[in-house]
Structure 1
Amino acid sequence: MKQGKIKNNIIDLRSDTLTTPTEEMVLFMNKAPLGDDVYKEDPTVALLEKKVAEMFGMEAALFCVSGTMSNQLAIKAHTSPGDEVICDRSSHIYLYEGGGIAVNALCSVKLIDGDSGRIAPHQVKESINNPSDVHQPISRLVSLENTTNRGGGAFYDFEDIRKIKKVCEENGLILHLDGARLFNAISETPQSPKDYGEVFDSISICLSKGLGSPIGSVIIGKRSFIDKTRRFRKLMGGGWRQAGSLAAAGIYALDHHIPLLKEDHRRAKQIGEILKKSGYAEEVMPISTNIIMITPRNCNAIDFVAKMKDKNILCTAFGDRLVRFVTYLQITDSDIEEFKRRMVGCSS
């Protein structure tokens, strides 16, 4: 049952991590059989991992507490200390995972100035170090983000991904996907999860953003790779016991909530139009999925967020000049109408 997100007169558009389980999801979670997942004895966790692996046509999967953990496990498992990771300058693995690449994998990073968080095949090729030059780290891993968070929810043209894969194959590099919002991209393109599984060596997908689970991400890849990440997950304190209830939420989300993502995208475009007409935005970035990025007019991001808070609208500052709004499962058409009323004075 979908209900509006206005709570205590507040419209909260800070992030799609704010989703909460629907009543139907809670009922499904409560019925889940449980076991000890560290011993690989939780049947619901095993079912989720099998389901996701088969969905992407890959050998195995591992249920993790967060997308940050699953990304960091992938990077650590794919690399050796001193290697280099190639990614966009605005990518989540670089900006928003606590320096984990350096701390967990002991790797350096080659940053690319991409287009709305998307890097091009020729940029990847130009970023690969000469493996014979002892002064440079070994280029080992390329990480893409789809959709892009700081890039405003933009998604890749799949042919560009194929070209990047070819560059990786020709140079012995591994290709990882931070697919925290991958299903948002899939909802807007002809590709299927299996298409992604054929191209990437590993994929991280998040269940707790647009799909509406309370917690959890899944990492997918070859069985030997997943066995390695399972060991590292334990090393990082990420082994969990009776996690089946949370896994059940993920199963329910995958079965029922993927078609709803396009509604989030529709509402995001409506918010973008409202912001354009409001006079508050100097620029609204192109809206592809559920993220709206704007440059405020005549103020910095922090001041703009404060102005919105005065209207009981919550959003997020991204540096000095960018502000993010995000739609998600609990944001309804009535919420959008109320947002419009507060921004431009139109009656609902």
Structure 2
Amino acid sequence: MPIDLRSDTVTKPTVKMRNAIRDAAVGDDVYGEDPTINHLEQLAAKIVDKEAALFVTSGTQGNQVAVLSHTQRGDEVILEEHSHIFSYETAGLSTIAGVQARTIKGVNGQMPISDIISAIREDDIHCPKTALICLENTHGDSGGRILPLHHMEEVYRVSRKYRVPVHLDGARLFNAAVGLGVDPKEITKYTDTVQFCLSKGLSAPMGSILAGPKDFIEKARKWRKMLGGGTRQAGIVGAAGIIALEEIIGRLQEDHLHAKKLAEGLARINGIDIDAEGVETNIIMFSIARSGLDADEFIKKLHGHEILANSAGPYRIRFVTHRGIATEDIDTAIEAIKRIFAEVKVRV
């Protein structure tokens, strides 16, 4: 089996999840009659300390439903310029929700507070209404960096002052919580709504959760239906999500330790530029520009060593650790990359 460092989306359900899928009690979720989904939504809402929750088929769907529920067509949404919602959700903001993106350059995913304040529109006939601020924690394109609690609190205070709600794309919310050593509620208390994935490091086969106030979730439920997310006997997959929340969150620290070990090993290879100290969770970003190889060439060489990876730019590589990666896989990957770089001429 190859060492798959492409993403934590490649995780497979546990044996217990597969058994739960087989034995799940189900009903029609559109009618609100699936007991497993109802249990999952109640559990999820409790974990993030929100009034209600909604099972959605994917993180992208959850974020889109959130934007639709918070905004009107022609509104404006503030978000970081490399956020997942803006960069990797197929322009859903504009094509489906009909809103305008106001992007801000961040540092490790953190938008400067002064820039957020400056971006909030005054009531002017010429301008769109600022209807939503979106945050992302962990911030994927910054290498899984964690938004500090003090930053989230500052953004939340601004949002209260200007009466603009905050939505958190918390696809890897639990990685952030584990990395900070806090209960997830300590993060989500600075948000009005939150989306988090069950199908990444938590190993469920599919699905995400959108959580927030009860009236918001009822509105979101209708938008979910419009987007084709009104599934029927969804408890079959929801059963795995329950186990993900009850049993898998605690082991994410292992993924973080593996990522740190891998980053430290890469930092010792001449020709790789990486901020190993900045690796906070399970995502690693590094540059191979000095190797003379581009990302596609490097990934092809990795394939020769049965290692799978993704590029994040012409000379930028992304590795992601997850439940399918063992300590010995980290050692194997480091040794393979050493051999690859021994064959190239590294620029000083």
For the aligned pair, the TM-score class normalised by the smaller chain equals over 0.9
CA drift at 1:105: 1.0
For the pair 1:311 / 2:311, whether they are aligned, the reply is no
CA drift at 1:280: 4.5
Matches within 5 A, 1:58-207: 58-132=50-124, 134-207=125-198
Residue type of the alignment partner of 1:334: E
> Residue deviations 1:20-48, cap 9 Å, x none?
01112211222210111111111000000
- Alpha-carbon spacing, 1:299–1:129, altered in 2? closer, same or farther (3 Å): farther
Aligned length, in residue pairs: 336
Q: Is the 8 A contact 1:146 1:154 kept in 2?
A: yes
Q: Which residue of 1 aligns with 2:321?
A: 327
Bigger shift: 27-36 or 64-73? 27-36
> Residue deviations 1:191-237, cap 9 Å, x none?
32222342211000100001111100000001111111110111111
Matches within 5 A, 1:262-301: 262-284=253-275, 286-296=278-288, 297=290, 298-301=292-295
Q: Write the distance in 2 (CA, Å) between the matches of 1:63 and 1:158.
A: 26
Q: Is the 8 A contact 2:177 2:187 kept in 1?
A: no
For the pair 1:252 / 2:243, whether they are aligned, the reply is yes
CA drift at 1:49: 0.1
Q: Is the 8 A contact 1:277 1:344 kept in 2?
A: no
Q: Write the distance in 2 (CA, Å) between the matches of 1:191 and 1:341.
A: 35
Q: Write the distance in 1 (CA, Å) between the matches of 2:15 and 2:72.
A: 45
Matched residue SS, 1:187: helix
Matched residue SS, 1:281: coil
Q: Write the distance in 2 (CA, Å) between the matches of 1:105 and 1:201.
A: 19
- Alpha-carbon spacing, 1:235–1:24, altered in 2? closer, same or farther (3 Å): same
Q: Is the 8 A contact 1:48 1:248 kept in 2?
A: yes
Q: Considering only aligned residues, what root-mean-square deviation do their CA atoms show, in Å?
A: 1.3
Q: Which residue of 2 aligns with 1:4?
A: none
> Residue deviations 1:112-133, cap 9 Å, x none?
110122213222112112222x
Q: Write the distance in 1 (CA, Å) between the matches of 2:6 and 2:188.
A: 31
Length-normalised TM-score, structure 2: 0.93
Length-normalised TM-score, structure 1: 0.93
Matched residue SS, 2:332: helix
Q: Which residue of 2 aligns with 1:338?
A: 332
Q: Is the 8 A contact 2:53 2:211 kept in 1?
A: yes
Bigger shift: 200-209 or 115-124? 115-124
Quote the sequence identity (%). Answer: 40
Q: Which of structure 1's runs of 4+ aligned residues deviate more than 4 A?
A: none
Q: Which residue of 1 aligns with 2:203?
A: 212
Q: Which residue of 1 aligns with 2:47?
A: 55
Q: Is the 8 A contact 1:284 1:295 kept in 2?
A: no
Pick aligned residue for 2:221 from 219, 224, 230: 230
Q: Write the distance in 1 (CA, Å) between the matches of 2:113 and 2:238.
A: 36
Segments of 5+ residues of structure 1 without an aligned counterpart are 1-6
CA drift at 1:326: 0.2
